[in-house]
A and B are shown apart, each in its own frame.
Chain A
Amino acid sequence: GNLVDFNNDLQLHRRLRTHEKREMQKEILSILGLPHRPRPHLLNGKYNSAPLFMLNLYNTINSEERNEVDGILDQYKSMFTTPGPPLATSQDNAYLNDADMVMSFVNLVEYDRELSPHRRHHKEFKFNLSQIPEGEAVTAAEFRIYKECVSSTFRNETFLLSVFQVVGEHPDRDADLFLLESRHLWAVEEGWLDFDITATSNLWVMSPHHNLGLQISVETSSGQNISPREAGLVGRDGALERQPFMVAFFKVSEVHVRTAR
């Protein structure tokens, strides 16, 4: 049953009736501040990098009570055969200490759009920030993308990875881009790259119509545009636990008042 009272003489150890269970669900949802029970469309989502990253954060904050959650974490981790789940950095842990809520967002772009020849190697990323609970303010946000070691033509190359915020879209010409950050990468380096997109996320939360996503581009040291995949950057066709995603840290800015029922 749902209710187990170990000390009381009466012992409430019984299975809840259907309507009792429904009431119980309603009450617990209310405590969690949710208007309804979420119905995620998971398919492969459970095995994606974003949930793994979040599990890692969960593990960090629950390290004191590790024994209680190890079972669940092991269950999840055992689902992965390939190495390299996204680990939280010390910077993430610093954000985490100050956060009331952390949220990871999966990339919604399923198919590459045909961009102009000038931007044919650009990759697009979009994130749905519409379900952020009211009263939560973004304190930090990161865009995370995994880079694998390059062992082909560009082995000894240095790349310039640029991350842009899309600030305007037009039907007849290229989108307007705002450069957020450029970073030099060694071809042989491997691991998660994180880019600070705090200001961009704040804008997206405050004005959802400005949320037109991100784009990335990669250039070689000679200025040649190449596909991010050639530079070892993992995209949708890569391993699930290395998919790019976005993570945001929130602080409650309003007192949550439960409405009377």
Chain B
Amino acid sequence: STGKRRQQSRNRSNHPQEAHKGPGHTDYNSSDQKTACRKHELYVSFRELGWQDWIIAPEGYAANYCDGECSFPLNAHMNATNHAIVQTLVHLMNPENVPKPCCAPTKLHAISVLYFDDNSNVILKKYKNMVVRACGCH
């Protein structure tokens, strides 16, 4: 019931202890939470790769990645496609043959990279889908 959920949500936000949990937090038990599909932070440093002589900017970028389990209940805070729900049901009925849905990016973001080529010409290129903004079950 959406009405009931809205009520719960209101109660939760009024609870002082919940203030530290951040956006999108839900009350699954801690072991579920650890393995649930979510975005992980991952910074790719061009400087550490020893490329500062040809990549002018940026110094690196937060690429991020998705990892975790996609199993019932598909966490309310996370994007799950309709098909992911069907996939989960079929997996539950036939776990040997049908895999669980995949934990994958649902929102991607572009970055621009400024670099020299072999002729010392400078290239500014927009690379689409470089940064994972959000993860979900597909």
Which residues of A are in contact with B by a Cβ distance under 8 Å?
A: 1-9, 21, 24-25, 28, 31-32, 37-42, 45, 50-51, 54-55, 57-58, 61-62, 68-69, 71-73, 76, 99-106, 128, 130-131
B89 within 8 A of A: no
B41, A39: Cβ atoms closer than 8 Å: no
Judge whether B58 and A101 touch: CB under 8 Å: no
The segment from B49-57, B71-79, B97-105 found at the interface with A is B49-57
Knowing A39-B54, A58-B114, A62-B112 are in contact, say whether A50-B122 is a contact too (CB < 8 A): yes
Q: Does B127 contact A (CB under 8 A)?
A: yes
Taking CB atoms, residues of chain B closer than 8 Å to A4 are 41-43
Q: Does B12 sit at the interface, judged by CB under 8 A? A: no
- Chain B's closest residue to A45 (CB) is B120
B83 on the A face (CB < 8 A): no
The answer to whether A40 and B118 touch (CB under 8 A), given A4-B42, A8-B40, A58-B112, is yes
A40 & B45 in contact (Cβ 8 Å cutoff): no
Chain B's interface: helix, strand, loop or mixed, by majority?
A: strand
A-B contacts, 25 of them at CB < 8 A, read A2-B49, A3-B43, A8-B40, A9-B34, A25-B49, A31-B130, A32-B127, A38-B116, A40-B116, A40-B117, A40-B120, A58-B56, A58-B57, A58-B124, A61-B112, A68-B58, A72-B58, A100-B126, A101-B123, A102-B124, A102-B125, A106-B119, A128-B119, A131-B117, A131-B119
CA distance A176 to B43 in the complex (A): 54
B59 touches A50 (CB 8 A): no
Majority SS at the chain A contact face: mixed
Residues on B with beta carbons closer than 8 Å to the beta carbon of A28: 44, 49
Of A7, A73, A100, A104, the contact of B40 (CB 8 Å cutoff): A7
Write the chain A residue with the least CB distance to B115.
A38
Q: Which residues of B contact A7 (CB under 8 A)?
A: 38, 40-41
**In contact, B42 and A5 (Cβ under 8 angstroms):** yes
Residue of B nearest to A22 (CB): B49
Query: Are A55 and B57 touching (Cβ within 8 A)?
Result: yes
Instruction: Knowing A55-B114, A58-B124 are in contact, say whether A40-B49 is a contact too (CB < 8 A).
Output: no
The distance from the CB of B126 to the nearest CB of chain A, in whole angstroms, is 5
Using known A-B contacts A31-B127, A40-B54, determine if residue A5 contacts B40 with beta carbons closer than 8 Å. Answer: yes
- Give the shortest distance, in Å, between B50 (CB) and chain A (any CB): 8
Tell me whether B54 and A37 are in contact (CB under 8 A): yes
B38 contact set on A, CB distance < 8 A: 7
For chain B, residues 22 to 53, give those with C-beta under 8 angstroms from any C-beta of chain A: 34, 38, 40-45, 48-49, 51, 53
A105 touches B58 (CB 8 A): no
Give the residue name and chain of the A residue nearest to B59 (CB): A72
The answer to whether A103 touches B57 (Cβ under 8 A) is no
**In the complex, which residue of chain B has the Cβ closest to the Cβ of A27?**
B44
Asked if B41 and A103 sit within 8 Å, CB to CB, the answer is: no
* Nearest A residue (CB) for B54: A38
Q: Is the CB of B123 within 8 A of A102?
A: yes
Question: B127 to chain A: which residues have CB within 8 Å?
Answer: 31-32
Whether B118 lies near A104 (C-beta < 8 A) is no
Q: CB distance A45 to B116 under 8 Å?
A: yes
Q: Within 8 Å CB of B115, what residues of A?
A: 38
Cβ contact within 8 Å between A2 and B45 = yes
